[in-house]
Amino acid sequence: MSNSSSRPLSPFLSVYKLEPSMVMSGLHRITGFALTIGLVLLTWWLVAAAAGPDYFAVIQGLLGTWIGKLALFGWTFSIFYHLGTGLRHLAFDTGRCLSKEGIVSSGWTVVVAAVGLTIVAWIIAFIA
């Protein structure tokens, strides 16, 4: 397909009113993208662990700074959010939760679960 075509291109969003379920769907994709970028960090962390204690201390030091902790916090929330919305999409695939009420209640369940699991993971990290 060429750019010179005047046909509407995906994402064709400007004609719709912004709805919470749209925001959730968009965030599912954005967190998926962010988590893919986060795989660079996972790879680096595993390489550092394999390289030995000196190099491992470097990355652990970087992750221990407030920027590192903030990135890890965003990463943790992204994982739980993407996991939750992913499960919600699997439910959609089987035809469940597709009513208006089902979409709203499953959406809120995912948001609450993602926030809750993120907090639980960080409580574990702080008492560990």
Residues that bind another protein (CB under 8 A): 1-3, 9-11, 29, 32-33, 35-36, 39-40, 42-43, 46-47, 49-50, 52-53, 56-57, 76, 79-80, 83, 86-87, 90, 93, 121-122, 124-126, 128
Q: How far is the CB of 123 from another protein (least distance, A)?
A: 9
Q: Which is nearer to another protein, 35 or 62 (CB)?
A: 35
Q: Which is nearer to another protein, 20 or 61 (CB)?
A: 61
Q: Which is nearer to another protein, 15 or 124 (CB)?
A: 124
Residue type, 125: A
| CA–CA dist 82, 76 (Å, integer) | 10
| CA–CA dist 35, 77 (Å, integer) | 10
According to the 3-state scheme, what is the secondary structure of 84-123? HHHHHHHHHHCCCCCCHHHHHHHHHHHHHHHHHHHHHHHH
Q: Which is nearer to another protein, 23 or 37 (CB)?
A: 37
Q: How far is the CB of 23 from another protein (least distance, A)?
A: 17
| CA–CA dist 24, 42 (Å, integer) | 25
